C-alpha cells in the first residue's frame, strides 16, 4: 500500500521563503559563472523578508581576492542599513562559506545563514571546520544548510567541468 504524501515544505511559508531567496542566489551565481567567475551568489534579506543586498563572485573581474559573493553582499547590506550589526538579517549563499567569509559572517553578526551545497574543500561552517561554533566566535550563528542543494552543487560541477 502506498500513500501519496505531498512534500512537507509545500505549505511551509518558511521553506518557501528560503526556496525563493536561494533561487535568487542561484541566478546571481549563474551570472558570475557566465562572467568567468566561480558561480557563487549571495542575498541578504532583512527581518521583514525584504532583499537589502546581493552579490556574486567578482574576484577575477575586480582583481580582488576578497571579492567573494558573501563579502560583497555583507558590505552592501551594511551600507544599506548604515550599520555593520546584521543580526536581524538572513544571508543566503549557494555554497558553504570559506574561512574568510565565515569570519565576516560571524563578525557581522548575521542572524541566520542559509546555504545550498557543502564545500568539502574549504567549507568553514560545518564541512571542513566549524568556525561559528568554535571558541574564537563571539556570536552564535543560526545555520540552515542544504536548501536547493542539488541545484547548487550541479551548477558548480557543470561550471568546473566546462573549464577542464
As annotated, the binding site includes: 68, 98, 101
In angstroms, rounded to a whole number, what is the distance separating the alpha carbons of residues 150 and 47? 27
> What are the helix (H) ranges across 1-148?
13-34, 59-62, 69-81, 99-107
Q: From residue 53, give the alpha-carbon distance in Å to each of 10, 13, 71, 142, 145.
A: 27, 22, 11, 19, 20
Q: Is there a contact between 106 and 131 (Cβ–Cβ < 8 Å)?
A: yes
Distance of CA 43 to the CA centre of its chain: 7
- Of residues 37, 54, 56, 70, which has the active-site annotation? 70
For the question of residue 70 being annotated catalytic, the response is yes
Check residue 154 and report its DSSP letter: H
Binding residues for Zn(2+): 68, 98, 101
Q: Could you give the residue numbers annotated as active site?
A: 70
Amino acid at each position: 500500500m502506498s500513500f501519496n504524501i505531498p512534500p512537507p515544505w509545500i505549505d511551509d511559508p518558511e521553506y518557501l521563503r528560503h526556496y525563493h531567496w536561494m533561487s535568487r542566489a542561484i541566478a546571481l551565481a549563474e551570472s558570475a559563472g557566465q562572467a568567468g567567475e566561480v558561480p557563487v551568489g549571495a542575498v541578504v534579506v532583512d527581518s521583514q523578508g525584504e532583499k537589502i543586498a546581493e552579490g556574486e563572485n567578482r574576484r577575477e573581474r575586480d582583481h580582488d581576492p576578497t571579492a567573494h559573493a558573501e563579502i560583497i553582499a555583507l558590505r552592501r547590506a551594511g551600507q544599506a542599513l548604515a550599520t555593520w550589526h546584521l543580526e536581524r538579517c538572513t544571508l543566503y549563499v549557494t555554497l558553504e562559506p570559506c574561512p574568510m567569509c565565515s569570519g565576516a559572517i560571524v563578525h557581522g553578526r548575521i542572524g541566520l545563514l542559509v546555504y545550498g551545497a557543502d564545500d568539502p574543500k574549504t567549507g568553514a561552517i560545518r564541512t571542513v571546520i566549524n568556525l561559528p561554533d568554535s571558541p574564537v566566535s563571539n556570536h552564535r550563528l543560526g545555520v540552515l544548510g542544504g536548501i536547493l542543494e542539488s541545484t547548487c552543487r550541479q551548477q558548480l560541477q557543470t561550471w568546473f567541468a566546462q573549464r577542464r
